[in-house]
Structure 1
Amino acid sequence: MSRNGKHPLPKLLHGQEQRVYGDSAYASQKALIRDKAPKARDFTNQRTRRAGKVDEVARGKNRNKSKIRARVEHVFAVVKRLWGFTKVRYRGLAKNANRAFVALALTNVYLSRRRLMAQVRP
């Protein structure tokens, strides 16, 4: 890990990467990426607008990433708001894992409720 311990990037790179993607947290790690994976093309923190011009390819990629991120984040919002996962509580690893699995299973049912009800109704 890096000096401050919050970036696991050195342990994630093996040196044979062709591409490296990352968000703005990895933008400051460009030198490390070049050292660890010299053949890799760095796609961290790419911008969609340069000098007033819009890069339509990058814009499309960002739109696709946003759609995926929104679907994933919605699940976690439901878990936090409906089942009280706003604070971390230590109850033992088995109990914490069980609580998380049950909350995620309930979230799947909750988010699928309209499709499930449509199957029940004639």
Structure 2
Amino acid sequence: WHFGMKAHIGVDAKSGLTHSLVTTAANEHDLNQLGNLLHGEEQFVSADAGYQGAPQREELAEVDVDWLIAERPGKVKTLKQHPRKNKTAINIEYMKASIRARVEHPFRIIKRQFGFVKARYKGLLKNDNQLAMLFTLANLFRVDQMIRQWERSQ
């Protein structure tokens, strides 16, 4: 707890709703919690470059998904040095980034709509409870947005 905390979330790619939440101390690597974020019905997993080794991990070996993991920033930078030659690879990275951005939307809702700026309590358990409530409310907020959008289109 001394080093802060992280909230790891699993988000549905189609709806943008949060389906799983794990809070850990900030000094724990994101990759250690990936197995806890999967619900078992995924067709693909989209993640940032910190998850590069995910397909090779023992606990994730039996997971049958397509891994859409971003390349490291240094590799993307070298691809952009020759844009004509690497146009397809660059477009694939942009596509991965657009899918990956869906994970950040619930964080925007809890920070901007609900004013969550920093951890309020000492200890992971209390903060985990607060974040669980905030992400549940973010799901309700998102469902309300989807209903209103559907009503406007009718």
* TM-score range for the pair, normalised by the shorter chain length: 0.5 to 0.7
Q: Which has the larger radius of gyration?
A: 1
Counterpart mapping for 1:40-119 below 5 A:
43-45=71-73, 46-47=75-76, 48-116=79-147, 118=150
- Structure 1 residues 83 and 116, CA, compared in 2 at 3 Å: closer, same or farther? same
Residues 58 and 97 (structure 1), Cα distance of their counterparts in 2 relative to 1, 3 Å cut:
same
2:49/2:72 contact within 8 Å kept = yes
Where in structure 2 are there 5+ consecutive unaligned residues? Answer: 1-26, 33-47, 53-70
Q: Is the 8 A contact 2:119 2:127 kept in 1?
A: no
Tell me by how many angstroms 1:89 deviates.
2.3
Structure (1 or 2) with the greater helix fraction:
1
Aligned pairs, number: 87
Alpha-carbon deviations, 1:19-47, whole Å to 9, x = none? xx836xx9xxxxxxxxxxxxxxxx53322
TM-score, normalising length: structure 1 = 0.53
Indicate the residue corresponding to 1:22 in structure 2.
49
* Larger strand percent: 2
- In angstroms, what is the RMSD of aligned CA positions? 3.3
* Other structure's SS at 1:90 match: coil
Counterpart CA distance in 2 for 1:65 and 1:52 is: 17
What is the Cα deviation at residue 103 of structure 1?
0.3
Q: 2: CA distance between counterparts of 1:96 and 1:7?
A: 16
Deviations 1:52-109 (A, max 9, x none): 5351221222122221232111211111112222122224433211110010011011
TM superposition score normalised by structure 2: 0.44
User: Runs of at least 4 residues of structure 1 off by over 6 A?
Assistant: none
